[in-house]
Chain A
Amino acid sequence: CYIFQKGCGRKDCHHILNSSPSFDNWNVLIIVFTEMRDKLRKWREDNHRNSEQIVDVGEELINEHASKLGDDIWIIYEQVMIAALDCSRDDLAWTCLQELKRQFPGSQRVKRLAGMRLEALEKYEDASKQYDSILQDDPTNTAARKRKISILKAQGKSAEAIRELNEYLEQFVGDQEAWHELSELYINEHDYGKAAFCLEELMMTNPHNHLYCEQYAEVKYTQGGLENLELSRKYFAQALKLNNRNMRALFGLYMVSSHI
């Protein structure tokens, strides 16, 4: 491989040239670099949690192409750091964090990242203190509050997580992500009635989202009883109307219909 190193064997290496250095090599180099940067941007925008890939591409970009990234580099450091925590790459996460600390001293956003690193190292008390200090300066910081709830979840304290999340939602009623998280917590506690309530909130604000309809239908089906099964059928059908390729909704509709 000419661009990265000889015989790199990288799956997505787009090099074509094998001859001696020429102007063409630079063009290929730039094409590869922009592809990598665009990939990261797409994953960022779609909120993909493909952490191994992000670390792969991101680490390369940071190490080899930092100078070309301009101001993009900071958001990439953040993205790569979070992915690195997901993959137990504390070395990489630490490097990214240091760069961000240097560039944005005293930033709440960077403080939160430092907290996340402590979480990844299972230092939950220290992480919690970190978030508390953010909340002292800024009591409306939703990110810090949600991280505290994540800590409860990681420690298996579901009841407390549910309680805190409910309190949070009383203040921040429009937080979709939080409503969805709460519905998941309730499902795991087998509290289907409350899970259904959360999904109803989500369906109200996102009437075209077929996934919420389908999940609601699954919860209703699980609750059982004629009334719930009829609602279940209605919402499986609705999900299919919104997306006729939703297989879960299709099978669900079939199954619930055969029960009624």
Chain B
Amino acid sequence: MGEVELSCLAYVKMYLHACLFPRCSVNGLLLSSSPAGGAVCVTDCVPLLHTHLPLAPITQLALTQVDVWCAQTQQRIVGYYQANACVSDSSPTPCALKIADKIAEQCNNAVLLMIDGGKMSPDYRVPPIVMYERKDTRWTLKDKHTIMLRQWEETRDIASQLLDSGDHSLLVDFDSHLDDITRDWTNQKLNAKIAELASPANGNV
């Protein structure tokens, strides 16, 4: 299908989400602030769950709340990501396919992204992600060459920096928000930190 671009912000938060809960499967939604049509630009993500991914009520609740927030902030839900607890198996689970199907109903070129835990070593060179797109009714592997991450090295370094400094604990997913309702699942604080690290003033283009 088309090209997909993954922003620094989206990648870093997904990565930190997986690092924050290394013993659980985690998932989340991919958002875009660009208009529909043409290449899919994933500009942000919302980390959702780290417990009981297949159960319906909280997933439905989260989808609804994120939908509303997106409408208010001119964003769209364009995809879904998941990192499996079992590092050796990074294939999409039935619940991943189900949620991705639901998203695809609203968004034509939705993407399903699996984080490959096995490739997340400290000195990994390529993004540890595998992307799927919808062809007919099945999710098929996307051609690696249609996936773009601008300034990959800088993005990777920002993620490592935040991990080393312990700032990944700032990340709030929907599950954590339900445990403590005052915590912000839109992660404004963390977004600001990432933006600061990514800004030209820091020598990153």
Partner-B contacts on A (CB < 8 A): 49, 154, 156, 184, 187-188, 190, 215, 217-219, 221-222, 224, 232, 247-248, 251-252, 255-256
Contacts and interface: CB of A to CB of B under 8 A. Distances in A.
A255 B88 contact: no
B54 A222 contact: yes
B86 interface: yes
B57 A256 contact: yes
Q: Which 10 A-B pairs have the closest CB atoms?
A: A222-B56, A247-B178, A218-B55, A221-B57, A252-B57, A222-B55, A156-B86, A251-B61, A218-B57, A248-B178
B52 A187 contact: yes
- How big is chain B's contact interface, by range? 10 to 19
A222 B54 CA distance: 8
Residue among B23, B55, B86, B181 with most chain A CB within 10 A = B55
Nearest to B58: A248
Nearest to B61: A251
A97 to B, nearest CB: 22
Interface string B103-144: 000000000000000000000000000000000000000000
30 contacts: A49-B23, A156-B86, A156-B88, A187-B52, A187-B54, A190-B54, A190-B94, A190-B95, A215-B52, A218-B52, A218-B55, A218-B56, A218-B57, A219-B55, A221-B55, A221-B56, A221-B57, A222-B55, A222-B56, A224-B56, A232-B57, A247-B179, A247-B181, A248-B58, A251-B57, A251-B61, A252-B57, A252-B58, A255-B57, A255-B60
Contacts of A256: 57
Contacts, number: 47
B89 interface: yes
Interface of B: 23, 52, 54-58, 60-61, 86, 88-89, 93-95, 178-179, 181
B120 to A, nearest CB: 13
Given A215-B52, A218-B56, A248-B57, 14 more contacts: A154-B86, A156-B88, A184-B52, A187-B54, A190-B95, A218-B57, A218-B58, A219-B55, A222-B55, A222-B56, A232-B57, A247-B179, A248-B58, A251-B178
B177 to A, nearest CB: 8
Nearest to A183: B52
Nearest to A189: B54
A156 B91 CA distance: 12
A188 B54 contact: yes
A251 B59 CA distance: 11
Contacts of A217: 57
A70 to B, nearest CB: 33
Contacts of B60: 255
Contacts of B23: 49
A162 B191 CA distance: 41
Contacts of A218: 52, 55-58
B58 A251 contact: yes
Contacts of B94: 190
A247 B179 CA distance: 7
Residue among B23, B52, B61, B178 with most chain A CB within 10 A = B52
Contacts of A255: 57, 60-61
B180 to A, nearest CB: 9
Given A247-B178, A255-B60, A187 B55 contact: yes
Contacts of B61: 251, 255
B57 A222 contact: yes
